[in-house]
A = this chain, B = another copy of it.
Amino acid sequence: MSAEQAAPSRIERKRGRRIQEILTAAAELFGERGYAAVSLEDVAERLDVTKGSLYYYFASKDALGTAAIETLGNEWTSRLENLPAAQEGPPAARLRALLREHITIAVREYPAALGLFLVPREWPREQHERIKELRRRHDGLFRRVVEEGVASGEFRVTDVGTALQCMHASMSQAPVWCEGLAGAAVDRAIERLADTLMMLVGQAP
């Protein structure tokens, strides 16, 4: 009753890291091939362990899937929340910073996460709710900036909700569009996409 939150003992930290490894591998595979098309044996193989080992950490495939989504989504959102360039200044600059960062994360670091924000239909229902929850928090970041820009008259938007949806739908596809590109070409694609999406709030480059 006293020190319940006290000890992140060595053993617990090790366990935590292991779980993290598993989640990363799982998220990558799910993103690459789709949830239904990935077997736990695939995940295990990528980690050079056996399936049974995964069940030591997660009760089921769905549990693993859910955890993967949450971890990845939280991490991603946190990074955007703490992006310096998005903290202050004119809305246009802040929105652009958010867009660029979001696309960069999607393309360069978590091509894995493709679909996380799109709620792939074949995923279990329970996870749909979780993903929607994550999206709301994530969306809030963009929404605040856009609404501010609209209020100050800098942005011209028909409907904020629709504009945000279009941004997310487009960004979620970015990893696909960048397949086959490399080096500077990727950077250019990212910039083009950010520029194009700024048009949604009436900001020509």
**Residues of A with Cβ closer than 8 Å to B?**
32-37, 114-115, 118-122, 156-159, 162-163, 165-166, 169-170, 172-173, 176-177, 189, 192-193, 195-197, 199-202, 204-205
Contacts and interface: CB of A to CB of B under 8 A. Distances in A.
A121 B165 CA distance: 21
30 contacts: A32-B121, A34-B34, A34-B36, A34-B120, A34-B121, A36-B36, A36-B37, A37-B121, A37-B122, A114-B121, A115-B121, A118-B173, A120-B120, A156-B199, A156-B204, A157-B199, A158-B199, A159-B192, A159-B195, A162-B195, A162-B196, A163-B199, A165-B177, A166-B166, A166-B170, A166-B196, A169-B169, A169-B172, A170-B170, A196-B200
Total identical chains: 2
Interface of A, secondary structure class, is: helix
Given A122-B33, A169-B172, A173-B118, A199 B199 contact: yes
